[in-house]
Structure formats: structure tokens, C-alpha cells
Amino acid sequence: MPHDPPINHPTFADTLGELAHRASLGDRDAFDQIHARLAGGVRQLFLKRLGARADLADDLAQRAFLAAWTAISSGRYDPTRSAASTFIYAISLKIWLQHLRAEGRRSRREGPDEAALAAAAGGDEVDQGPAMAELLQVVRDSLSGAHEDLTSQERQILRCVAEGDSDRALAKRLGLAPSTANAKKNAAFEKLRRILGARGFRADSGEQTDTDGE
Amino acid sequence: MNDRDLQALLTFALEAEAFERDALRPASIPIWRRPWVWGGLAAAAALAIAIPMLIPAPAPAFDPSNVARVQPVAARTLSDDDLNAIQRALGEMLSDPTKVEGNLAMVIAIVRGDQGECECVHWRRHQLPAGKALADLSRNELLRLGMQDSCPASTDRLLVVGVACDEIPLDGRLAGQLAACVDVGETCGDTATCYASRALACLPDDATVVAATLAMSR
């Protein structure tokens, strides 16, 4: 077997952020590395929604990465505005929403409220994946406290809501009266809407406005 | 954006968090296949439908420890129905460019941690370019193929083995068996030919094996 000099190839040590940056500059090897790291997770996302239909999960995962590469290679993904994982996740969700539409099953609620997200994300058009990734990234950053826009209690409330807590469950978890918990939840929602608005997303639709809020 | 939309957005933001967390966590499943190969597996499934029509008894499963004892299965005379079934299966395969064609090889990547333990085994089928044999692959090409699936666990050394063989199916079962054949501790060190000869010992005579190793620690 021929033996060539050692190669300078992206290795497992590269972070997703570095790989995303290189991929956004057209580095196909970097994108392959992102694929290698996230393909299993994307497949699991689809499997979770599909049950045991592994072939379909594989097919949707493949479509998601194809769409991701299309978005990256056409310059529509900005790694400074959303993490690679959020971007791939957002594209995968778009593919899933598209699949539901094709199957005519959007009205069926399976797991998280896909239809509500479709409305929030401005539909299931895959080419809107990067915008949706930015929207999700703002929410993720807010929940993690990266922007310090929300208090720790507000972040906790929003996480509880995301996990499906009712007002009563929320009140129990926070040790508050249900009416107080509800008021705090509404206040946290309003603050999150303002955060989204300040970063260029219309709070009524979730689509990005023409003016850049950054 | 009403409260329900916002709640959905929050739910998906949390799911994206979990997705990222899982992606960065060491894999617990030792072997998995890449999405790209599903078309190949679909073709294999198509053949699996056609083959039982040709062979009355299932062929013995490949077992590297008793390759010499595997006997060829006698084919019976084909009926018109059998021939039609073959023609349909082949026609379906040839009409879909994503399905498997000849000149196929399998690449197995074995990732070891810093204690020499096997962290992950990945495998993939690789369609060799027309006119190119497995032995023509350079070390770099082989390593590139092996690196396309990553193992997020502690990675110290990568061993990539390429196999071409017409007699046996290039599938996950074979990958697992070959991983066991070649991955027997540190005795081979970084000597790729040592691993290749171990793999060959577990394969039929017509098999071609190439191997390459790479130290990943920095």
C-alpha cells in the first residue's frame, strides 16, 4: 500500500464553532466533519418522531444535511449568528415540518407542537432554515443567560414552560401562588418578546425584519 | 407571536440544547451506519427479496473462524418466474443511481482511546471510482474515508481498514467481525501491514485488504 506523508486533515479536536466557520467559507471537509458529529443526533431527532421507521429517518437526515450544505455554500449561514448545532437542528426541523406537510399530518400533534413552531418560524420553507436558526439561537442564548436579559428566575420559568409545566405545576415548583406564577410567566414572555424584537424578529410572526437588530 | 407560539419556540430551543449536548457526548453505541448507505441497504433489501426465490435454503452466515468450512450452495434450475424476478430486481437497481453498483469496498474505522481501548467502530461502503481498485487508494485517501465518522470519545489512535471482497456481504456484521480480528491490543502498534494481515486471515482468499494507522493525540 502506498504511504504518503501525514495529512493535515480536520481532526476530532476541532470544535463545532471552528468547523462551522470553515464550512461557511466553503470548506467541504469541515462540513463533512460537522456531518460526522451531528448525523447521529439528527437521525435520532427524526427517529424520535417517526418511531421505528429507520429508513425514513435516514432519508430525512440526508435531506437535512443536503439542505444545510446548500444554505452554507450559498452564503446564507452566518456562524456568528447561530451555532452549527442550532443551524443543523433548525434545518432538520424545517425538513420535518416539510415532511409533515407532504404527509398531510400537520394537524396531528406528535410530541412538541410542530404547527405552532411552523407558525412561529414562518412556515416550513427549508431556505428559511438559517433565519430560524438565528431565532432559536436568540432564545437559547436568553435561556442560558448569555445576554443577561432575563433574570435567573425568568429563565427558570421559561424552561419550566418549555418543558410543558402548567401554571399550577409552575407555581408548585417556584413555591408561589398560581396567580403569581402566571403573572411572572406573562412578564417573562413579554421580556422574551422584547428581546426577540430587539434582535430583529417580529414578535407577531417570528420572521426577521429588514432592519438588523444586532 | 402568541403565547402558544412562544412556548413552542422555547420547547424547540431546549431540544436544540439537548441535541447539541448529545452530539458532544461520547458515543455509547459502538457501531452505527451512516445515512448515506441507506440506498445501498435498500438495494440489498431488494436483493434479499429476489435471492430466496433462487436459493431454497439460506446461505450459511459468514463466520471468519470457519471460512474454509463454508460450502457453496447448489443452485436449482431457474424458472421463468425466477428470471423475471431477477430482471425486476436488477432493473430497479440500475434505474436508481443511488443504489449499489459493482466495484464496492468497505471501510472500517477503529478508534482507540489513550489506554488502547476500542472507543468506536464505524463502517461505510465506499464506491470506488471506475477503473480504480481498493489497493490503488493512497494512505491519505483511506484515512480521509475513515475520518468521515468521528468518535467524540477520547481519541488516541485511528486504524482504518479497507476491504474488497466479492464472496461475502460488506455489512455491519462483517465490520464487527473484522474489528474483533484486528483489534487485539497493542501488539501491532502502528504497523498497518500487521493489521492488514490479521484482517486477511479472517477473510476469504479473494479478499483485498488495505490498512492505515494515524496517531490522533497532539
Nearest CA in chain A to B154: A12
Of A39, A83, A163, the CB nearest to B20: A83
Question: What is the C-alpha to C-alpha distance for residues A169 and B144, in angstroms, rounded to an integer?
Answer: 51
Q: Are residues A85 and A177 in the same domain?
A: no
Contact by Cβ (8 Å): A206, A121? yes
Structural contact between residues B177 and B64, judged by C-beta atoms closer than 8 angstroms? yes
Closest CA to B85 of B46, B50, B43, B42: B50
What distance in Å separates residue B35's CA from the closest CA in chain A? 5
d(CA B144, CA A113): 40
Phi and psi for A121 in degrees, rounded to 5? -95, 5
CATH number at residue A32: 1.10.1740.10
Low-confidence ranges of chain B (pLDDT < 50): 26-78, 90, 92-101, 218
Is residue A83 in some structural domain?
yes
Q: Do B192 and A1 touch (CB under 8 A)?
A: yes
Q: Could you tell me which residue, A115 or B106, shows the higher pLDDT?
A: B106
Q: Which of B135, B139, B152 sits opposite A4 (nearest CB)?
A: B139
pLDDT category at A159 given cuts 50, 70, 90 is: very high
Q: How many residues does chain A have?
A: 214
Q: Which of B8, B42, B210 sits opposite A120 (nearest CB)?
A: B8
Give the pLDDT score at B38.
Answer: 40
Do the interacting molecules here have an ipTM over 0.90?
no
Among A117-126, A159-168, B129-138, B163-172, whose mean pLDDT is lowest? A117-126
* Residue corresponding to grid cell 470506488: B128
**A89, closest residue in chain B (CA to CA):** B16
Give the residue-averaged pLDDT of A80-101: 88
Report pLDDT digits (tens) over A170-184. Answer: 888 888 888 888 899
Q: Which one has a higher pLDDT value, A67 or B157?
A: A67
pLDDT the model gives residue B69: 37
Asked whether the beta carbons of B161 and B108 are under 8 A apart, the reply is yes
Number of H helices and E strands in chain B, helices first, is 6, 5
A33 and A115 housed in the same domain: yes
Residue A199's pLDDT band, with cuts at 50, 70 and 90, is confident
Residue of A84, A62, A74, A61 whose CA lies nearest to A26: A74
- Domain of A172, CATH number, reads 1.10.10
- Contact status, residue B176 vs residue B61, Cβ threshold 8 Å: no
Asked whether residue A51 falls in the same domain as residue A91, the answer is yes
Domain contains A135 = no
Q: B16–A136: do the CB atoms touch at under 8 Å? A: yes
Each as own residue / partner, the long-range contacts of residues A71-77 (CB below 8 Å, 24 or more positions apart, any chain) are A71/A127, A71/A129, A71/A130, A72/A23, A72/A24, A72/A31, A73/A26, A75/A24, A76/A127, A76/A130, A77/A20, A77/A23, A77/A24, A77/A130, A77/A133
- Domain assignment of residue A80, yes or no: yes
* Residue A161 and residue A106 share a domain: no
A80 and A168 within one domain: no
A74 shares its domain with A157: no
- My answer on whether A28 and A111 are in the same domain is yes
| Lowest-confidence pick of A15-19, A31-35, A109-113, B6-10 | A109-113
- The three cell numbers locating residue A207: 420572521
- H/E run at residue B111: strand B104-112
Q: Say how many CA atoms lie within 13 Å of B153 toward its Cβ.
A: 19
- For residues A115 and A164, state if they share a domain: no
- Cβ contact B214:A9 at 8 Å: no
Residue A31 near residue A81, CB atoms below 8 Å: no
Is the residue at A6 inside a domain?
no
Q: Which three cell numbers stand for residue A65?
A: 444535511
On whether both A199 and A97 belong to a single domain, the answer is: no
Nearest CA among A43, A54, A41 for reference residue B27: A41
Domain ranges of chain B: 35-95, 104-215
> B143 φ, ψ to 5°?
-65, -40
Residue A204 has pLDDT above 60, yes or no: no
Whether A24 and A114 map to the same domain: the answer is yes
Q: How far apart are CA A198 and CA A187, in angstroms?
A: 16
- Which of A104, A129, A154 is the C-terminal boundary of a domain? A129
- In whole angstroms, what is the distance from residue A190 CA to residue A184 CA? 10
Q: Is residue A136 part of a domain?
A: no
For chain A, how many structural domains are there in total? 2
pLDDT for residue A213: 36
Q: What is the pLDDT of residue B22?
A: 77
In chain B, the residue whose alpha carbon lies closest to the alpha carbon of A165 is: B7
B10 membership: H or E segment, kind and range? helix B3-23
Domain range spanning residue A172? 145-207
For A130, phi and psi rounded to 5 degrees?
A: -60, -40
* A193 within a domain of the structure (yes/no): yes
Q: Which tops the pLDDT comparison, B114 or A11?
A: B114
Chain A positions touching B112 (Cβ under 8 A) are: none
pLDDT band at A14 (very low <50, low <70, confident <90, very high): low
User: For residue B82, what pLDDT is reported?
Assistant: 56
Instruction: Decide if B119 contacts B159 (C-beta within 8 A).
Output: no
Which of A76, A94, A129 is the last residue before a domain boundary?
A: A129
Q: Is the pLDDT of residue A21 over 50?
A: yes
- Is a pLDDT exceeding 90 seen at residue A158? yes
* Cell numbers linked to B35: 445515512
Tell me if A189 is assigned to some domain: yes
What is the rounded distance in angstroms from the CA atom of residue A154 to the CA atom of residue A185?
7
The CA radius of gyration of chain B, in Å to the nearest whole number, is 21
The reply to whether A212 falls in a domain is no
- The reported pLDDT for the residue numbered A188 is 92
- Considering the domain architecture, whether residues A121 and A186 belong to the same structural domain is answered as no
Regarding whether A92 and A194 lie in a shared domain, the answer is no
